[in-house]
Amino acid sequence: MFSRSFLFAVLSSTAFLHSVSFVRGYKIAVIGGGIGGTATAYFLRNTLDPQPQVDVFEENEVGGRLDLSTLSGFQYELGGSIIHPRNKHVVELVNRLGLEHRSDPPFSKTSFFDGKEIVFEDSSWTVVDLAKMAWRYGPMTLYKANKQLQDMLGHFDRIYDIQESGDCFANVSELLSAMSPTFPAMTQTSADTIEDLSAEFMREIVGAALRVNYGQYSANATKFVTFVSLAGSEGGLWAIDGGNKRLPYALLAAADAFLIPHKVRKVERSQDERYLLHWDQVSDTYDAVVVAAPFDGTLELPSNMQASVRPMEGIWVTLIEASAVNSSYFGRPVSDVIAVGLAWFNSIGRVWPVDGRTPDKPVYKIFSAEKPSRQLLESVFVDVGQVEQHHWLAYPHYDWSKNADASFQLGPGLWYNNAIEWTASAMEMSLVGAKNAANCAAKHLGLALKQPEPIDKDEL
């Protein structure tokens, strides 16, 4: 993944050609090679003029929380899996980089389990297509829930024009205010304050959406993240053919940035007001730095440029081959199950391989707070085959009583993309953070912003 020709990049940069006296090109470090860090590298290299040198540091695997797991020769999404059709950054990058969409076969039927029994079932777990649920919640509740969701998506859409015009935001609440003056308050109020929705709808549908998408309950979540999870329950969701982690790999290739496979331990301010990064036994100086990972306290930052460590939700993902879900465990035949009350799992769902093939034996994905034992799995599933389990620090623990606002800008030329995650975590949110960092870097270094060049797809 090293640059084809760094020398070529330097020689052809307009800074070099236009300068009479030598002007050194800028050098920017991106810490983290997930979708957010690789997209930052892509935007920095393809929209800043003249083009800076970019080094991407990744201590683990490129892709981060986008990863695959293999069962019997088929690959499945282990981390971030679904993309909303209105996630414009993802949609545009996927098209630009020549990747393809994949949609799984529609859900057969989703059952809602309260810990003891299935309380109801629905064949279309989508908020926009809730006609069948109207009998339970009343049509007005559905209408109002959907109207509030569509209003929010409409306001969210404004971010794309705002970012296109080159705006840079120093903190998350300023970015949210630019989309809608109502957004910052939505990150500081409980989901329970959502107006006009029946208690039953809140408990069951809203609770289920939060549990499925973020592994947590409505009581502590913010109104903002609750609507994001409702959007994640809409129709038209898709994924990237071959696996979502193909996007970070394609972004890194199209950025033509250096990949440095090490953990950055420390970021210091250098005497010439640049940044000195330390990794392995090496250190180097950069004009600007972008932190593209949730801050966990293991990266040392200058003492006056801190980001706070915030709690993440630990989630176990279990992929299991089985011929069926044991119907006597649930009291009736089921396929996909979402917990709406006390249950050891958050959700159980049939999944399909990322290449669109159909495996010989069905595979289910389970999300849970604790790691399920083989014995438990064998009582819930029939004829269990291979099992793969992975623990993630998956997404923030959302709590409306804690201020979700956080700074993107930690210091002059030092940005923190994942500040945005405490408002809501999703691939698209990391891309909003990435574009913001590139816009801020352009402003800070006094570089022009341009449209990215069309990609020569044969080169990828």
Ligand X SMILES: *[C@@H]1O[C@H](CO)[C@@H](O)[C@H](O)[C@H]1NC(C)=O
Ligand Y SMILES: Cc1cc2nc3c(=O)[nH]c(=O)nc-3n(C[C@H](O)[C@H](O)[C@H](O)COP(=O)(O)OP(=O)(O)OC[C@H]3O[C@@H](n4cnc5c(N)ncnc54)[C@H](O)[C@@H]3O)c2cc1C
Binding status of residue 216 toward ligand X by CB under 6 A: yes
How many residues in the chain? Answer: 460
**Per-residue contact track with ligand Y, 176 to 195, x per CB under 6 A?**
--------------------
Q: Binding partner of residue 65 among ligand Y, ligand X, none, CB under 5 to 8 Å per kind?
A: ligand Y
**E strand map for 117-194:** 118-122
Closest C-alpha to 191, from 145, 225, 228: 225
Q: Identify the CA nearest to 63 among candidates 93, 33, 42.
A: 33
323 binds ligand X (CB under 6 A): no
User: Binding to ligand X by residue 3, rule CB under 6 A?
Assistant: no
By CB under 6 A, name the one of 407, 417, 430, 439 that touches ligand X. 407
**Does 29 contact ligand Y by CB under 6 A?**
no
Considering the complex, what minimum distance in angstroms separates the CB of residue 370 from ligand Y?
15
Choose between 120 and 217: whose C-beta lies nearer to ligand X: 217
In angstroms, give the least distance from the CB of 456 to ligand Y.
26
Helix (H, G, I), strand (E, B) or coil at 30: strand
Gap between the Cα atoms of 334 and 336, Å rounded: 6
Considering only residues 171 through 200, tell me which ones interact with ligand X, judged by CB under 6 A. Answer: 171, 173-174
Q: How many residues bind ligand Y (CB under 6 A)?
A: 34
Of 12, 60, 108, 123, the residue at the interface with ligand Y (CB under 6 A) is 60
CB 259 within 8 A of CB 252: yes
Dihedral sign (CA 13, 169, 263, 459): negative
Binder to ligand Y among 142, 231, 255, 315 (CB under 6 A)?
Answer: 315
Selection from ligand Y, ligand X, none that 220 binds (CB < 5 to 8 A by kind) is ligand X
Strand-pairing partners, residue 347, are 338, 367
User: Which residue reads 């109801």 in tokens?
Assistant: 120
Residue closest to 260 by CA, chosen among 233, 287, 283: 283
Whether residue 420 contacts residue 291, with contact meaning beta carbons closer than 8 Å, is answered with no
Closest listed residue to residue 207, CA positions, set 192, 189, 196: 192
Q: Which residues bind to ligand Y, rule: CB under 6 A?
A: 31-37, 57-60, 64-66, 79-82, 263-264, 292-293, 299, 315, 317, 392, 394-395, 418, 425-428, 430
Q: Which residues bind to ligand X, rule: CB under 6 A?
A: 171, 173-174, 216-217, 219-220, 326, 328-329, 378-379, 382, 399, 405-407
